[in-house]
C-alpha cells in the first residue's frame, strides 16, 4: 500500500467542511515516512485561499484516496490513508515539508515551486483493496 501511494501521481483529498459535509478535491502530494504533504501549486485558480485549508484548520481529520482503474478489472486497486492534518505556513518547516513535493514533481515544480501554505498529514491508518495479488 505504501509503495502504491508513494508512486501515485494524484490522489483525492477528503476534508470536512464547516457544516459537516465532505469536501473532496484532487491533489498532487508526496509522502515521507508516516507523513504526507500537499500544497497550493501555481496552476490558475480563482484564489489561493482554498477551502481545504479552512477545513483542516477547523477539523484536522482527513483521508486521501489513490486508485488504479483500467478495463482489465483484475488489475484494479485502491488505497486510502486516514490521518490528522495541519496547515503549515511560511517557515523553515514549510521548506522542509515541500522538499518531497519538489522531488516528486520535478518537471512541474522545478521552475515554479509552490509557495505554500501546505497541508501536512500524519498518516494514522492505511486500508486498501486489490483485485489480485499481482495488481
Between vectors from CA 97 to CA 36 and to CA 43, what angle results, nearest 5°?
Answer: 80
Predicted confidence at residue 44, as pLDDT, reads 55
**Does the predicted TM-score (pTM) go above 0.95?**
no
Choices 2.30.110.10, 3.40.640.10, 3.10.105.10, 3.30.56.10: CATH for 2-130: 2.30.110.10
Per-domain residue ranges for the chain? Answer: 2-130
**Contact status, residue 118 vs residue 13, Cβ threshold 8 Å:** no
Predicted confidence at residue 75, as pLDDT, reads 93
Predicted confidence at residue 93, as pLDDT, reads 82
Predicted confidence at residue 12, as pLDDT, reads 98
Contacts of residue 122, defined as CB under 8 A and 6 or more positions apart, other chains included, come to 34, 35, 83, 84, 85
Question: pLDDT band at 40, cuts 50/70/90?
Answer: confident
Q: How far apart are CA 130 and CA 83, in angstroms?
A: 21
Q: How far apart are CA 5 and CA 10, in angstroms?
A: 9
**Contact status, residue 46 vs residue 86, Cβ threshold 8 Å:** no
Amino acid at each position: 500500500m505504501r509503495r502504491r501511494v508513494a508512486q501515485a501521481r494524484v490522489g483525492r483529498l477528503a476534508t470536512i467542511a464547516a457544516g459537516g459535509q465532505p469536501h473532496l478535491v484532487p491533489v498532487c502530494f508526496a509522502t515521507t515516512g508516516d507523513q504526507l504533504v500537499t500544497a497550493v501549486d501555481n496552476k490558475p485558480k480563482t484564489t489561493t485561499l482554498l477551502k481545504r485549508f479552512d477545513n483542516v484548520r477547523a477539523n484536522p481529520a482527513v483521508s486521501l484516496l489513490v486508485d488504479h482503474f483500467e478495463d482489465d478489472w483484475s488489475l484494479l486497486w485502491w488505497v486510502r490513508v486516514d490521518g490528522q492534518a495541519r496547515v503549515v505556513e511560511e517557515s523553515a518547516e514549510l521548506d522542509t515539508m515541500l522538499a518531497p513535493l519538489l522531488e516528486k514533481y520535478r518537471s512541474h515544480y522545478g521552475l515554479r515551486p509552490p509557495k505554500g501554505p501546505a497541508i501536512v498529514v500524519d498518516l494514522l491508518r492505511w486500508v486498501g483493496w486489490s483485485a489480485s495479488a499481482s495488481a
